[in-house]
């Protein structure tokens, strides 16, 4: 579990930390001197343990507000106050249990009950979507990062983007300007400790429902990542997210092939030029050699314009395969999105590229894509 301990008493902080770490080495324990109004790193813990000599109405109101913002947060209070009136008010504030101070047995029992409840929660069976470039510069990273944002829009679906471009991965920069606290290579070094809390704490939180695991910032660390690590990572991610988007890059090695093996769908990204046609055919031949089903491979045509000399029909004839989705060419909006590290759906929601990504997300989710708004409708919406 991911646990935050709050106490103004430094001795109690140390004692509780020691107790919790002795109870389970898998738990992640953080310390605070006062109850937070929100969690600064965007990661909500599983448990907030508040130890305090006296808890007044102001503190209970803060706990109630915090619980309202984070409905999955369990709150335990340790304090001498045990009157029926205080217990009832604490319950109304969302406190799970009120325990006597220094009762370690009662605290450990309460922690077990919370763990059991977390384990009984219905786990997700997330779908893994892998994006791979047919040739460098195809725009696969841009599509993967922004499709993740589109899938997570409305916060009805929980989405993770995993950057598996081991040498030069930069997917996080397409949707965020935050420096990652933990990268894929650093997480791989702790693979024996990998659990939901550690994975969650390693992600950059783009929105409450969209997270990114960044690639290593040093290509030399690519060797830290092994194919078996990908198995363990994806198994866990499937249970925590509705969609796991993989930016695989272009190179095919043991790690990327393992990720492609585990993917539900693979999206080769190409453009309508002869070099892409040639390299795309080679990549599809590799996939057939790996034994992938035809319906697992879905072609994405990026930066497509009706004026291109190679048409969609030409590509489909060359590949003997249907083009699943075309993303239109709109250089200015895409360049602005990439330069600012802001998802294009946030920066330019009515842009044709944004609409195409929304349509792709809706198709994958089995939903009806949002209707395009004309300029009159958009003007009225602002009024």
The tens digit of pLDDT for each residue in 355-367 reads: 999 999 999 998 8
Provide the pLDDT confidence category of residue 21 given band limits of 50, 70 and 90. Answer: confident
pLDDT digit string (tens) for 314-350?
999 999 999 999 999 999 999 999 999 999 999 999 9
Would you say 134 and 283 are in contact if contact means Cβ atoms under 8 Å apart? Answer: yes
Would you say 115 and 350 are in contact if contact means Cβ atoms under 8 Å apart? Answer: no
Provide the pLDDT confidence category of residue 369 given band limits of 50, 70 and 90. Answer: low
pLDDT digit string (tens) for 241-267?
999 999 998 878 899 999 999 999 999
pLDDT digit string (tens) for 37-93?
666 555 678 899 999 999 999 999 988 888 877 777 889 999 999 898 999 899 888
- Straight-line distance from the first to the last Cα atom of the chain, in angstroms, rounded to the nearest whole number: 47
DSSP-derived 3-state class of residue 210? strand
Provide the pLDDT confidence category of residue 36 given band limits of 50, 70 and 90. Answer: confident
Residue 179: predicted pLDDT: 87
Whole-number Å distance between alpha carbons of 352 and 330: 8
Whole-number Å distance between alpha carbons of 343 and 206: 10
Residue 81: CB partners within 8 Å, gap ≥ 6?
Answer: 54, 55, 98
| pTM greater than the 0.75 cutoff | no
Residue 87: CB partners within 8 Å, gap ≥ 6?
Answer: 98
Residue 154: predicted pLDDT: 83
Provide the pLDDT confidence category of residue 22 given band limits of 50, 70 and 90. Answer: confident
Residue 170: predicted pLDDT: 92
Structure tokens at 212: 């990114």
Does the pLDDT value for residue 383 go beyond 50?
no
Would you say 134 and 276 are in contact if contact means Cβ atoms under 8 Å apart? Answer: yes
pLDDT digit string (tens) for 185-223?
999 988 888 888 889 889 999 998 999 999 987 777 778
pLDDT digit string (tens) for 102-151?
889 999 999 988 888 776 655 568 999 999 999 988 999 999 999 999 99
């Amino acid at each position: 579990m991911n646990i935050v301990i709050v106490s103004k008493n430094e001795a109690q902080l140390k004692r509780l930390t020691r107790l919790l770490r002795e109870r389970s080495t898998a738990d992640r324990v953080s310390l605070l001197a006062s109850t937070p109004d929100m969690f600064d790193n965007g990661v909500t813990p599983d448990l907030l343990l508040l130890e305090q000599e006296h808890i007044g109405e102001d503190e209970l109101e803060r706990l109630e507000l915090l619980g309202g913002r984070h409905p999955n947060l369990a709150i335990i209070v340790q304090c001498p106050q045990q009157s029926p009136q205080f217990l009832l008010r604490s319950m109304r504030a969302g406190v799970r249990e009120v325990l006597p101070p220094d009762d370690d047995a009662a605290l450990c029992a309460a922690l077990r009950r919370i763990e059991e409840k977390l384990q009984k929660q219905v786990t997700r069976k997330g779908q893994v979507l892998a994006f791979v470039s047919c040739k460098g510069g195809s725009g696969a990273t841009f599509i993967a990062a922004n499709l993740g944002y589109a899938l997570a829009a409305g916060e009805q679906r929980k989405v993770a983007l995993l950057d598996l471009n081991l040498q030069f991965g930069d997917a996080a920069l397409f949707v965020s300007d935050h420096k990652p606290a933990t990268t894929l290579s650093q997480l791989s070094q702790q693979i024996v400790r990998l659990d939901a809390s550690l994975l969650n704490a390693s992600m950059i939180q783009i929105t409450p429902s969209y997270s990114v695991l960044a690639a290593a910032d040093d290509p030399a660390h690519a060797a830290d990542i092994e194919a078996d690590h990908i198995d363990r990572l994806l198994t866990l991610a499937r249970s925590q997210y509705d969609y796991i988007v993989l930016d695989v890059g272009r190179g095919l090695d043991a790690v990327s092939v393992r990720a492609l093996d585990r993917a539900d769908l693979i999206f080769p990204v190409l453009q309508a030029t002869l070099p892409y046609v040639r390299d795309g055919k080679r990549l599809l031949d590799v996939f057939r050699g790996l034994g992938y089903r035809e319906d697992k491979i879905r072609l994405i045509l990026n930066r497509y314009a009706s004026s291109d000399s190679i048409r969609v029909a030409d590509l489909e004839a060359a590949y003997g395969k249907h083009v699943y989705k075309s993303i239109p060419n709109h250089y200015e909006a895409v360049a602005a999105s990439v330069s600012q590290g802001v998802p294009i759906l946030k920066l330019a929601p009515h842009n044709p590229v944004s609409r195409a990504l929304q349509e792709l997300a809706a198709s994958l989710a089995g939903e009806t894509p949002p209707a395009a708004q004309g300029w009159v409708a958009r003007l009225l919406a602002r009024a």
